[in-house]
Amino acid sequence: MIRVLLADDHALFRQGLKSLLEAEGDFRVVGEAKDGWEAMRHALETKPDVILMDIQMPGLDGVQATQAILKEWPQAKVIMLTMYRQDAYVFEAVKAGARGYLLKDVDARELVDAIRRVHAGEVLLDAELAGHIIQDFRAKKEASQPLHAELSEREVQILRLVAQGYTNQEIAAELQLSEKTVRNRLSEIFQKLHLNNRTQAALYAIREGLARPEE
């Protein structure tokens, strides 16, 4: 069962999403929030598997709520909801650690599939948005030995597979490791690279030439 939190200031939109998801049988909506403050409170109380977060909400907006939630609970899997594909807020939210974004007019089947993919560990980023984030990282890069020089060969392999969209289960099968070992190695990779999540790890790997965007 995939536990989902819905954060949107339009009650009818939330109700529609709830009906759609719970009709699937493998989703359960564990909370609804009409603004960022409620989203943050519900997220930290219920620890949902996936959070669908509207960007523009009164009070605390979706980006601010995402940043606050991920600061307290880095494991949160947030998908931003937006009316516009190139919304500047999406860029900031993904940099903060959101797993990607969906347009509000997304097809129902695509929405359901996207939530399942994010729950499985994937990241929903298109090439253009990823390119903007990589450029932002490059602008801030210090002229020093790359952090990944500290990684072992096995850790580089795992990082590359993360960038290619592999889940922990798929990485374990590919490298003949246990899922527990993969999780532990990922934690070590995040620590060595000063990263918080898979999104940042994937973008780091692409930026540093450890993986290609088309992979």
Per-residue DSSP letters for 57-71?
-SSS-HHHHHHHHHH
pLDDT in tens, 196-212: 888 889 888 888 888 87
In a domain, 130, yes or no: no
For the chain, give the percent of residues with pLDDT over 70: 87
In a domain, 66, yes or no: yes
CA–CA gap between residue 174 and residue 154 (Å, rounded): 12
Which residue, 93, 124, 155, sits at the end of a domain? 124
Residues 10 and 103 in one domain: yes
Residues 11 and 67 in one domain: yes
Residue partners of 25: CB distance under 8 A and separation at least 6: none
pLDDT mean across residues, the chain: 86
In a domain, 77, yes or no: yes
pLDDT at 175 over 50: yes
Amino acid 143: pLDDT: 47
- Whole-number CA gyration radius for the chain: 17
CA–CA gap between residue 203 and residue 21 (Å, rounded): 30
Residues 20 and 87 in one domain: yes
Residue 166 Ramachandran class (φ > 0 left, ψ -120 to 50 alpha, else beta): beta
- Specify whether the CB–CB gap between 196 and 190 falls below 8 A: yes
Query: Residue 103 — very low, low, confident or very high, per pLDDT cuts 50/70/90?
Result: confident
- What is the total count of domains within the chain? 2
Q: 172-179 long-range CB contacts below 8 Å, 24 or more apart?
A: none
Residues 149 and 110 in one domain: no
The tokens describing 155, both together, are 């850790």
For the chain, give the percent of residues with pLDDT over 90: 50
In a domain, 129, yes or no: no
**Structural domain containing residue 59:** 2-124
Residues 172 and 120 in one domain: no
Q: Supply the CATH number for residue 36's domain.
A: 3.40.50.2300
Residues 150 and 95 in one domain: no
Amino acid 28: pLDDT: 95
Residues 106 and 184 in one domain: no
pLDDT in tens, 44-82: 999 999 999 999 898 888 989 998 998 888 888 999 988
Q: Supply the CATH number for residue 153's domain.
A: 1.10.10.10
- Mean pLDDT for the stretch of residues 157-183: 93
Residues 22 and 100 in one domain: yes
Q: Which one-letter amino acid corresponds to residue 88?
A: A
- Which stretches of the chain are assigned E, i.e. beta strand? 2-7, 27-33, 50-54, 78-82, 100-103
In a domain, 45, yes or no: yes
Residues 89 and 193 in one domain: no
In a domain, 131, yes or no: no
Residue partners of 126: CB distance under 8 A and separation at least 6: none
In this predicted model, which residue has the larger pLDDT, 94 or 163? 163
- Mean pLDDT for the stretch of residues 170-193: 93
The tokens describing 74, both together, are 């880095």
Residues 102 and 13 in one domain: yes
Residues 10 and 115 in one domain: yes
pLDDT at 138 over 70: no
pLDDT in tens, 117-134: 999 988 887 666 666 666
CA–CA gap between residue 16 and residue 8 (Å, rounded): 11
- Mean pLDDT for the stretch of residues 91-119: 87
Q: Indicate the range of 76-90, 141-155, 183-197 predicted with least confidence.
A: 141-155
